[in-house]
């Protein structure tokens, strides 16, 4: 098939490359000319595992190319995926749909024949009818344009895997047995034939799917971090408690990782956006548990700051703190709502000299937090440190020899906020260690 992908950020670029991998001819469209140029060279303007390999393969094969022209995209195909960003509105927790409506409005004038517009962007429930109305108003084909909803459930650093082998495929339509359904089933044919669960539903249910999924995941993470608070008060071990709970098949192991909490461009935004939309629908009491999940997550960051003050004193002026981690999670360069950088910035604001290291995210961190210090080598970053904070669980950090590291610090003290350092080994090497949820 021929298809387009409008918006080529994390979601769109991955979707475009994976659709080419499935055998389709794909045109990615983005208004950022520099991004289009980079993608046409077979490289992503961000780090996502395995994505560059697919981009290189299919820009070379001719199945995949990128443009900055809406007119070219409209003419290219009859199936158009939209994967533009829907960030939070400035000064609000609600989704900002400006990019989505702008993309639809600019694509519409070129839609002169029947077509399907399949939206992948995460939105508040009730957005699909507004998209359909824009297309009826601005597209020459008018009522011949069908709207579908195809939410994504990608995990950063696993986005290629999750696109090609998803846990489930969700397709939302306004009418039964529509042309849009037939077209999307053809587009995802190889995935459907592989036996992946495919759920066909209405617009509203499909719109709710991503926000509901992320809200549940956020709640699960916050639950185990709430247990970490209880463990710290009682002397229990939250890592062992999580393992006990994970053996219950009703609970499961996925997401039961106590630590500094969640960040990134999806879970925090979708949790807040879901709560805001529920408030608008007069269903605010139904999402009280989600408000507490957000509060627990915020307390994790403050707990690391409190532990730092307990170790170094309330006056941090003249103190040197090393932070291992800038990305919100390992195997990505994404720093959006990064717990590690939030803590680093807060300690800097309290007067400390903060040095940050990360295998992939330093360039992005420098742009957003130029007042912090940055060192590429995690061992050199700890030189003369009064305290080491382990805030993003890159596997490289857990393999560093703590004896070798201790000799370079001013004081061998570490707060392991992710719980992946081998505590006994570090203590044997002379370190004073603290970990969230454990004594």
Q: What is the pLDDT of residues 141-152, one digit of tens each?
A: 999 999 999 999
Percent of the chain with pLDDT over 70: 100
How many C-beta atoms lie closer than 10 Å to residue 411's C-beta?
16
Strands (E), 245-404: 320-324, 353-357, 373-374, 387-390
Distance CA 138, CA 436 (A): 54
Instruction: Report residue 255's pLDDT band, with 50, 70 and 90 as the boundaries.
Output: confident
pTM equals: 0.92
- CB-CB contact of 118 with 88 (8 Å): no
pLDDT of amino acid 221: 96
Query: Are the beta carbons of 30 and 104 closer than 8 angstroms?
Result: no
How confident is residue 229, by pLDDT bands cut at 50, 70 and 90?
very high
Q: Would you state the pLDDT for residue 378?
A: 97
CB-count exposure of residue 187 (10 Å: 0-12, 13-18, 19+): buried
- Predicted local distance difference test score (pLDDT) of residue 314: 95
Query: With pLDDT > 90 as the criterion, what percentage of the chain qualifies?
Result: 97
Give the integer Cα–Cα distance in Å for 154 and 11: 8
With a cut of 80, say whether residue 177 has pLDDT above it.
no
In this predicted model, what pLDDT tens digit does every residue of 347-359 receive, in sequence order? Answer: 999 999 999 999 9
Evaluate if residue 84 carries a pLDDT over 70.
yes
* Residue 203 confidence (pLDDT): 97
Active site residue 266: yes
- Look up tokens 């103190």; give the residue: 319
Catalytic site residue from 8, 18, 231, 266: 266
- Write the pLDDT tens digit of every residue in 116-158: 999 999 999 999 999 999 999 999 999 999 999 999 999 999 9
381's tokens? 């970053």
How many residues make up the chain in this entry? 439
Using one digit for the tens of pLDDT, what is the confidence trace for 386-398? Answer: 999 999 999 999 9
- CB-based burial label for 7 (10 Å; 0-12, 13-18, 19+): buried
- To 5 degrees, how large is the angle CA 126–CA 187–CA 62? 120
- Kindly tell me if the per-residue pLDDT of 102 is higher than 80: yes
Is residue 439 predicted with pLDDT exceeding 70? no
Give the closest residue to 108 by CA, choosing from 70, 68, 79, 81: 70
The runs of H, that is alpha helices, within 108-201 are: 128-138, 159-164, 179-187, 189-193
The pLDDT tens digits for 6-31 are: 999 999 999 999 999 999 999 999 99
In tens, the pLDDT along 360-408 reads 999 999 999 999 999 999 999 999 999 999 999 999 999 999 999 999 9
> Is 175's pLDDT higher than 90?
no
Q: What is the pLDDT of residues 29-57, one digit of tens each?
A: 999 999 999 999 999 999 999 999 999 99
Show the tokens assigned to 167: 């846990």
**Is the pLDDT score of 251 beyond 90?**
yes
Give me 264's structure tokens.
């990134």
Question: What was the pLDDT predicted at 338?
Answer: 98
**pLDDT of 176 over the 90 cut:** no
Average pLDDT over residues 83-107: 96
């Amino acid at each position: 098939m021929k298809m387009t992908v409008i918006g080529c950020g994390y979601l769109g670029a991955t979707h475009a490359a994976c659709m080419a991998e499935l055998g389709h001819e794909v045109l990615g469209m983005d208004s950022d000319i520099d991004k289009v140029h980079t993608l046409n060279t077979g490289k992503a303007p961000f780090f996502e595992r395995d994505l560059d390999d697919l981009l290189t393969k299919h820009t070379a094969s001719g199945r995949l190319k990128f443009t900055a022209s809406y007119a070219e995209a409209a003419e290219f195909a009859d199936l158009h995926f939209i994967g533009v960003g829907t960030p939070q509105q400035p000064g609000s927790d609600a989704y900002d749909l400006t990019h989505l409506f702008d993309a639809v409005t600019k694509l519409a004038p070129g839609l002169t024949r029947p077509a399907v517009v399949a939206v992948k962007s995460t939105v508040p429930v009730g957005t699909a009818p507004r998209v359909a109305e824009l297309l009826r108003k601005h597209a020459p084909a008018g009522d011949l344009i069908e709207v579908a909803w195809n939410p994504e459930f990608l995990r950063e650093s696993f986005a290629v895997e999750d696109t090609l082998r998803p846990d489930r495929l969700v397709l939302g339509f306004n009418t039964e047995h529509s042309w849009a359904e037939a077209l999307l089933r053809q587009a995802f044919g190889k995935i459907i034939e592989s036996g992946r669960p495919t759920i066909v539903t209405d617009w509203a249910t499909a719109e709710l799917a991503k926000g509901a999924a992320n809200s549940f995941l956020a709640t699960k993470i916050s639950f185990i971090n709430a247990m970490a608070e209880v463990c710290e008060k009682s002397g229990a071990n939250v890592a062992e408690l999580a393992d006990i709970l994970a053996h219950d098949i009703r609970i499961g192991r996925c997401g039961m990782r106590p630590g500094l909490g969640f960040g990134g461009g999806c879970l925090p935004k979708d949790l807040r956006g879901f709560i805001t939309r529920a408030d608008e629908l007069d269903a605010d009491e139904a999402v009280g548990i989600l408000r507490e999940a957000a509060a627990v997550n915020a307390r994790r960051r403050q707990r690391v700051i409190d532990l730092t003050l307990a170790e170094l004193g309330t006056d941090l002026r003249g103190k040197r703190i090393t932070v291992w981690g800038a990305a919100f999670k390992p195997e990505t360069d994404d720093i959006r709502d990064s717990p590690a950088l939030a803590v680093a910035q807060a300690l800097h604001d309290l007067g400390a000299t903060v040095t940050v290291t990360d295998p992939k995210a330093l360039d992005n961190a420098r742009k957003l937090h130029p007042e912090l210090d940055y060192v590429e080598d995690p061992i050199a970053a700890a030189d003369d440190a009064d305290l080491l904070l382990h805030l993003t669980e890159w596997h490289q950090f857990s393999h560093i020899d703590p004896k070798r590291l201790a000799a370079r610090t001013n004081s061998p003290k570490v707060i392991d906020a992710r719980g992946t350092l081998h505590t006994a080994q570090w203590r044997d090497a002379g370190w004073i260690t603290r970990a969230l949820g454990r004594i």
